[in-house]
Structure 1
């Protein structure tokens, strides 16, 4: 691909918001503070988490930019940004979540490998672009196709991004063709985020958005789209982002015994409090987010202020003043739900949040039961501890 290049060092990184919590500098990985994350249903671009595997690519000449579609198709094509923008434009509000979200809590049980994320390695944005199903039609692949006449069953996305895990090669991932060619799956080739042109950190000039799936499959800085017979064989599909049981360690792991992780499980977290916090006596407001993969809405968010003995149901919403109804025309099926409930807490309380999705999937109670050596998919009950402060004591973190 011409027009975009992956630099070999970190001397041309873009500016970032100063409030971001930096979890790794090179490559840059950062998340916003908890309370800032839920300040609005749509996450501002500068507060959206940053997940990178190498230096941020640089666009030298957008007019020369092309994305190629090739492989097990009748005709290979090369599309400019003008070609893609000539297709019908769709807007999809979707939450992207890193598979390592809440990894820090998992590493407190046993050491895991990976960036130490708190609870903010996700964000909710409105993405604008062309549906992948429309783009594939240009290469002769009809909508709802599950396999091409040439044996293609998967769609591989290859980035211009260069990363050490691929021995200096490009980042890549794939999804099934049946998902890519399905208009209802809302897979986008996105060139806008929250109504503005993508910024470099989030994939300028073009990225993939795969709603309801772990963020690792929404490839940024798109270079090639390959129609292939088997799943992508890249590192991040075959040697990472797979869910293993607690009994597996780095001495006995066999990577090909597990499929690459796609949908993310039901998840929620409290964002109005830190894991250990001081609050004023009396009523406080507990708020946070809940989300589930595969377009499954949130049926319920339960809050306990006594360590799980008694539960209260929190109010759920996406748009202020509009009741959230899962799988309703008023709801955004790929987006998170924000929750809020007023409670009165006793001194030295443990506050717990857990969510239930439309399929009655519920978060596991303990992180120990889902511990895995890569620290992914920590969807255990989110727990915080609070201590009452006297009226004269200002609220502060312990």
Structure 2
């Protein structure tokens, strides 16, 4: 080998080690900062973890030694926890579920109910145990099989307080998919737990213009995937005669200009419960008004990435952008949906490949480490855990695109609905809701008026012009005086509007029914009733919002 080649190899190796060293220094610094912030707690956990490993090693060696000469089919280390005990009281699952905080933490294992509150600081797995609060630990133990030893089961039994009611016994086979779900804020109103879907309480919606990340409503279709941001890649594939694919790491995406977009994301089924109650049953999660939240999203514009990959913005007719996420259903199919290519290439639509939300990296529930954000469209188009983008002459072939989030008239039934010919929903109509007070509340009249607060929103970049409140079933209307909104112009306005109205009431008045409607910059106004916009999936449920409250003078 020539001296030149030797020198070049030496320099390359040196640079490689310098980069590795820099990475190691960064990682060590981050670990140090984290340890310092959590030093006392981690000291306890580390001690417990060391003890657990030590005990496990000893027990394994002991079991190995004792098993010599015994029947090889006999296992003396089988977990025997969770057998029903007649000497203990019986609890319903509903009662157990209330004990899910560090002040009172109960769990279920088979037939047993356990108060493990005092054990929490010593749990070797750290705060992972918090995901099991008030629930069964069987799915977790099925994944982390090291728990199933006599000694650990004996430890669990030492915390035994009762039995689970026989009617509440469940088959937890298959639950292993859900054991690594992220922790969630207890203030969220859970609609389904597997997959996790939860809305923000109405009164908390109007407390913050940009919804705190922990309170942002959650819509999942499958378990939340665990992804490493340093290893994550997004593939961009162009199908145009021959297939061309380009791949980007998050670091490589940073070569594009970064930007921010303030946008509300709303599920197309928001306020579905009202349509269901006021007309007739529909199929879908029974969202009230809390399947909408507002945030500042940060990332790079999709149009910049597509142009860099050679997408021709003059050849868009009939083409689509398919977004595919890393979340997978039980059959191994990834979540996917699509939007028209023309929509994706319009710079005014401000579609992002986002890495940050309200100044922080995306939380796991909201797409960490990368998601599409399609402002003004149903939130289903803002695919989370984004792993591929495909330019195709075909729409996404997934169930979620072909058999859902499509528009039908009020006469269509499940038997007569033709999903193949129904148009996909790519934008959202104007809507509003009263958040405070809630229906049935008692409100105090001050100086002859009651104050009400709420939100209003319209899709497609339209801005809210006005919110009107009727205190007398549409006879008269009072316009909201205070409107908190983003300063983006119409056609590029993607955030919600928070509003406040003051409604005069008579001294003798004991009850009032309030109606709310909004008008957007396209002069579209909410319809009065749900009857004519009813549909089998309960989508786009945007009739007047109505509540009744009691008045205290």
Matched, 1:38 2:198: no
Residue aligning to 1:385: 548
Alpha carbons of 1:211 and 1:84: their partners in 2 closer, same or farther (altered >3 Å)?
same
Q: Secondary structure at the match of 1:76?
A: strand
Checking the alignment, whether the CA contact within 8 Å between 1:145 and 1:181 is kept in structure 2 is no
Question: Which stretch shifts more, 20-29 or 132-141?
Answer: 132-141
Alpha carbons of 1:9 and 1:220: their partners in 2 closer, same or farther (altered >3 Å)?
same
Checking the alignment, whether the CA contact within 8 Å between 1:94 and 1:336 is kept in structure 2 is yes
TM-score by length of 2: 0.65
Alpha carbons of 1:136 and 1:198: their partners in 2 closer, same or farther (altered >3 Å)?
same
Deviation at residue 335 of structure 1 after TM alignment:
0.7
Higher relative contact order (CA 8 A, sep 6+): 1
Q: Any idea what the Cα deviations from partners look like across 1:86-111, whole Å, max 9, x if unmatched?
A: 21101000110000100111111211
Q: Any idea what the Cα deviations from partners look like across 1:349-376, whole Å, max 9, x if unmatched?
A: 1101000111111101001111111111
Alpha carbons of 1:168 and 1:106: their partners in 2 closer, same or farther (altered >3 Å)?
farther
Q: Any idea what the Cα deviations from partners look like across 1:111-146, whole Å, max 9, x if unmatched?
A: 11111111010111000001001111221125x444
- Give 1:55's match in structure 2, choosing from 223, 228, 237: 223
Q: Secondary structure at the match of 2:184?
A: coil
Deviation at residue 332 of structure 1 after TM alignment:
7.0
- Give 1:312's match in structure 2, choosing from 473, 478, 481: 478
Matched, 1:118 2:288: yes
> In structure 2, how many angstroms separate the alpha carbons of the residues matched to 1:290 and 1:83?
38
Residue aligning to 2:489: 327
Matched, 1:365 2:528: yes
Residue aligning to 1:343: 503
Residue aligning to 2:386: 222
Deviation at residue 387 of structure 1 after TM alignment:
1.6
> In structure 1, how many angstroms separate the alpha carbons of the residues matched to 2:315 and 2:551?
58
> In structure 2, how many angstroms separate the alpha carbons of the residues matched to 1:52 and 1:261?
18
- Give 2:251's match in structure 1, choosing from 72, 82, 98: 82
> How is 1:190-205 mapped onto 2 (pairs within 5 angstroms)?
190-205=354-369
Checking the alignment, whether the CA contact within 8 Å between 2:225 and 2:327 is kept in structure 1 is yes
Q: Secondary structure at the match of 2:336?
A: strand
Question: Which stretch shifts more, 263-272 or 174-183?
Answer: 174-183
Deviation at residue 246 of structure 1 after TM alignment:
1.6
Matched, 1:127 2:330: no
Checking the alignment, whether the CA contact within 8 Å between 1:145 and 1:178 is kept in structure 2 is no
> In structure 2, how many angstroms separate the alpha carbons of the residues matched to 1:82 and 1:325?
31
> How is 1:210-359 mapped onto 2 (pairs within 5 angstroms)?
210-281=374-445, 282-318=448-484, 327=489, 333-345=493-505, 346-359=509-522
TM-score by length of 1: 0.89
Q: Any idea what the Cα deviations from partners look like across 1:59-81, whole Å, max 9, x if unmatched?
A: 1x332211101132563101001
Checking the alignment, whether the CA contact within 8 Å between 1:145 and 1:177 is kept in structure 2 is no
- Give 1:71's match in structure 2, choosing from 208, 227, 238: 238
> In structure 1, how many angstroms separate the alpha carbons of the residues matched to 2:483 and 2:315?
36
Q: Secondary structure at the match of 2:516?
A: strand
Q: Any idea what the Cα deviations from partners look like across 1:268-309, whole Å, max 9, x if unmatched?
A: 000112222222244221111111111111121111111111
> In structure 2, how many angstroms separate the alpha carbons of the residues matched to 1:19 and 1:171?
28
May I ask how many residue pairs the two structures share in their alignment?
Answer: 371
Deviation at residue 386 of structure 1 after TM alignment:
1.2
Structure with a larger share of its residues in helix: 2
> In structure 1, how many angstroms separate the alpha carbons of the residues matched to 2:418 and 2:333?
23
Residue aligning to 2:14: none
> In structure 2, how many angstroms separate the alpha carbons of the residues matched to 1:114 and 1:388?
34
> In structure 2, how many angstroms separate the alpha carbons of the residues matched to 1:90 and 1:374?
35
Deviation at residue 169 of structure 1 after TM alignment:
0.7
> In structure 2, how many angstroms separate the alpha carbons of the residues matched to 1:372 and 1:195?
38
Checking the alignment, whether the CA contact within 8 Å between 2:323 and 2:386 is kept in structure 1 is yes
Alpha carbons of 1:290 and 1:42: their partners in 2 closer, same or farther (altered >3 Å)?
same
Segments of 5+ residues of structure 2 without an aligned counterpart are: 1-174
> In structure 2, how many angstroms separate the alpha carbons of the residues matched to 1:127 and 1:145?
29
Deviation at residue 347 of structure 1 after TM alignment:
2.3
Q: CA RMSD in A?
A: 1.9
Deviation at residue 235 of structure 1 after TM alignment:
1.4
> In structure 2, how many angstroms separate the alpha carbons of the residues matched to 1:294 and 1:372?
21
> In structure 2, how many angstroms separate the alpha carbons of the residues matched to 1:137 and 1:246?
41
Checking the alignment, whether the CA contact within 8 Å between 1:49 and 1:122 is kept in structure 2 is yes
